[in-house]
Amino acid sequence: MSDTDSHFSALRMGQGEMGGSSDGGSDDNIDWNTEDEIEIEKYPVSCCSREAAGPSNTKLFDHFVGMGFSEKLVSRAINENGQENTDLILESLLTYAAIEDSPQEQQIGIVLSVCDNASSDYEENLLDDSSDFDSDSDSEGIYNPSSEEKKMTFLTEMGYTMNEASIAMERCGADASEAELADFICAHQMSKAEDALLPEEKPLPWLSVDDFRKSKKRKFLRYDSCKRNTIRDKKPMCEDDEPIRLPNPMVGFGLPTDSCSQLTHRNLPEPAIGPPYFYYENVALAPKGVWDTISRFLYDVEPEFVDSKYFCACARKRGYVHNLPIHNRCPLRPIPPLTISEALPMTKRWWPNWDTRTKLNCIQTCVGSAKLTERIRKALEDYNGEPPLYIQNYVLNECRKWNLVWVGRNKLAPLEPDEVEMLLGFPRNHTRGGGISRTDRYKSLGNSFQVDTVAYHLSVLKDLYPGGISLLSLFSGIGGAEVALYRLGIPLKNVVSVEISEVNRTIVRCWWDQTNQKGNLIDFADIQQFTAEKLEQLISAVGGFDLVVGGSPCNNLAGSNRYHRDGLEGKESSLFYHYFRVLDLVKSIMSKDQ
DNA sequence: GCGATGATGAAGCGCCGA
DNA sequence: TCGGCGCTTCATCATCGC
C-alpha cells in the first residue's frame, strides 16, 4: 500500500460503486464533450492565459511532461493541436490517458513521482495557496508552472488522480484554492456514487463551475429522501440550498436529561458508514461555509452541534461530525456539576446578587490579567456591594469575557488550571507537572474536548466493543477522547495518537502510565508525515482501527482570532484536510483487508 | 530564550423594535 | 422584513522580566 492507493480510495465512492473497470478506466465515466465545455470558456485555465504571454516551446513541452505525461504523448498532443491552445493539448493528453490501454500502474507511477518530488513542498502548499496567486498576479503574463504543480501535488496527495486534478483546475480556473479544487472533485465523485444507485447507468458529466459554485449542494440532492427523518427536518431554516445553520438550542441529537427530545435514528449516507467509526470536532461558530465544507468532505454527514453547557458548568459550542449510532447513549457518571455554584462552591459566599451568571462562557486558551481584576476591584470598592448599573454592566462584561469568578469581596479572579480541568471533565492535575508551564496548561486545556460531552456521544461504543477498542486519535491534544473512553469503561487496546505538541504528548503519556493502561500507546508528532505506508503498517500491527477521532486546529476558525480568521484555508485550520485524508485512507485500507 | 502579561477587534448570530 | 444592538468567541502579537 502506498500513498497512491488513496487515489483509488478517493474514487471508491464513485468509480468503485459504479462498477467501472479498473483497467485504467478512471475516466470512463467522464463525458468529455459535455455542455460544460461552454462553461470552461468562462473560466479560462490559468496556464493558457500565461502561455499566451509567450512561453517557449520547450517550456510548454516541459510543463506537460512535468505534469506527469509521457514525452511521447506530449509530443503527439502538441503536434495534433498546435502550440497555441493549451486547453486542447491538455484535453488531448487527458483523453489519451483515459483511452489508453495502459495499466493503472502507469498512472500510479505518475502520481507517485509527483508526490515524492514535492513532498517537502506540501506544507508550503497548504499554507500558501493564496500567496501563490498573489505572486502570479504580480508577474502577470509570466508563466509560473510551480503554482500549478503545487496544486497538482496537493490534490494528488489528497488521493485524487492526475486527471481529476487537471480537470478540476481547468474547470475552476486560476483563482481556485486547493480546497475548492478538492471540493469540486469530491462533488463529482459523490455525484458518480449517487448515479451508481440509479437503474440506468450513463456517463456522468462533470459539474460546470457555475453550477458547482452556485449550488454546492446539488450533488447531494438525492440523499434528501434519506434525510427526511433526520435532525435536519427539525430545523426548518436548513434547506438544502442554504448553508448549514446552527440549531437553537444547541442540543445535538438530544440530551441525556431530556429523553423525549432525543433522536434515536438517522440515515447516514452510504459512503459514511463504517468501519471505522469516525468522530470529528471543531468550533461551531466557524466562519460561514466552513461547516458545509467539513460536512461535504466527511461524506455529507450532518454535523451535530452541541453546547457543553448542557453537560457541565461551562459553555462550549462545538460541531461534531460522526458516523456513530445515536441510540442508547448514556452520560458519564457521576454527572458533573451543572452550575458555577455547584462546580465552585467557595465562590458562592462572594457572589453578588446582580451577577446572575449560572454558567461560565467558553473556556479559552488565555485568562484575564491581574491588572484587569485589580481595575475591577478598585471600580467596585467605593460602593459597598451595590455599584451603579453602569459599573455592574462593565464588571459583568469583563466577567463574561474572561470567565472571572468571585473569590473575595469585590475580588474577581480567572479560573485556576485545575478548575478548568474539572470543568472540562479531566482528572485533577491532568496537565500539571512534567515541566509544563501554567500558560501551556491553559493553552492545552482551552484547545481540548469537553470530556462529558464527547463521552456521551462515544458511550454507544461500550456495548459494541466490550473487549476493548483500537483508536486512531488525530490532533489528540491532551487526550480528551482517550480520557472519555477510559471513563466510559471501554478498554483501550491500542491507541495511535498524532499530536504536534510535545507538551501535549507528554501529558497523554503521563496519563497513560498513571492510569495503568494495559494497551499500547504509539504516538506521532506530525499528521502531515502520516503516510499511507505508515498507516498500512499500523493497521496491520493493531488489526485495524475501530474509531478515528480528531478535532483539527480551530485557530483560523475561532471568533477570538482577530488576526487570522481565515477559515479552512488558514495556516492551522487547513489541517482539517489531513483528517479527511487519513480517515479516507484508513477506510480504504480496511475495506481492502476485509 | 522562555514564560507571563496586557492590549488588541471583528465575524456571526439572536433578539427586539420600528 | 429589516436594521440596530448586544453577546460570544478552542486567539494573536508585542513587550517585559527573569
CATH assignment at residue A560: 3.40.50.150
Model confidence at A117: pLDDT above 80: no
Q: Alpha-carbon distance A585 to A41, whole Å?
A: 35
Q: Alpha-carbon distance A51 to A143, whole Å?
A: 6
**The pLDDT of residue A49:** 31
Model confidence at A463: pLDDT above 90: yes
Model confidence at A39: pLDDT above 80: no
**The pLDDT of residue A245:** 82
- Express the helix, strand and coil content of chain A in percent, nearest 5 each: 50, 10, 40
**The pLDDT of residue A157:** 61
Q: Picking from A77-81, A446-450, A494-498, which range would have the lowest pLDDT averaged per residue?
A: A77-81
Nucleotides of chain B touched by protein CB (<7 A): 2-15
Assign A533 a pLDDT band (cuts: 50, 70, 90).
very high
User: Are A555 and A561 in contact, with CB atoms under 8 Å apart?
Assistant: yes
Q: How far is the CA of A191 from the C1' of B18 (A)?
A: 47
Burial of A428 (0-12, 13-18, 19+ CB in 10 A): exposed
Q: How far is the CA of A321 from the C1' of B7 (A)?
A: 36
Q: How far is the CA of A568 from the C1' of B17 (A)?
A: 37
Find the domain containing A413 and state its range.
340-424
Residue A199 included in any domain: yes
Question: How confident is the model over A391-411, as a mean pLDDT?
Answer: 91
- Of A442, A484, A451, A477, the C-alpha closest to A553 is A477
Q: Which three cell numbers stand for residue A164?
A: 481529476
Question: How confident is the model over A356-372, as a mean pLDDT?
Answer: 91
Is A374 found in the same domain as A259? no
**A315 SS3 class:** coil
Residue A73 included in any domain: yes
Assign A1 a pLDDT band (cuts: 50, 70, 90).
very low
Is A56 found in the same domain as A189? yes
Model confidence at A453: pLDDT above 70: yes
Whole-Å CA distances, A577 to A292, A296, A329, A573: 14, 12, 29, 9
Model confidence at A53: pLDDT above 60: no
Q: Which nucleotide is nearest to A477 (CA to C1')?
A: C10
Is A265 found in the same domain as A199? no
Q: Alpha-carbon distance A151 to A163, whole Å?
A: 13
Residue A263 included in any domain: yes
A248 touches strand B (CB under 7 A): yes
Q: How far is the CA of A248 from the C1' of B15 (A)?
A: 13
Task: Quote the Cα angle for A93-A94-A97, to 5°.
Answer: 90
Is A46 found in the same domain as A114? yes
Q: What is the C-alpha R_g of chain A?
A: 26
Instruction: Give me the number of domains chain A comprises.
Output: 3
Question: How confident is the model over A317-334, as a mean pLDDT?
Answer: 95
Nucleotides of chain C touched by protein CB (<7 A): 7-13
Q: How far is the CA of A476 from the C1' of C16 (A)?
A: 33
Q: What is the DSSP letter of A498?
A: E
Q: Alpha-carbon distance A48 to A186, whole Å?
A: 25
Sequence-separated (6 or more) residues with CB below 8 Å from residue A120: none
Among protein residues, the one whose C-alpha sits closest to the C1' atom of C6 is A397
Assign A57 a pLDDT band (cuts: 50, 70, 90).
low
Q: What is the DSSP letter of A203?
A: P
Q: Alpha-carbon distance A74 to A89, whole Å?
A: 8
Whole-Å CA distances, A93 to A67, A74, A79, A99, A564: 10, 7, 12, 10, 40
Question: How confident is the model over A378-399, as a mean pLDDT?
Answer: 87
Residues at the strand C interface (Cβ < 7 Å): A 281-285, 315-318, 361-362, 364-366, 397, 400-401, 446-448, 475, 551-564, 572
Whole-Å CA distances, A497 to A89, A481, A528, A547, A575: 46, 10, 13, 12, 16
Residue A114 included in any domain: yes
Q: Alpha-carbon distance A512 to A272, whole Å?
A: 31
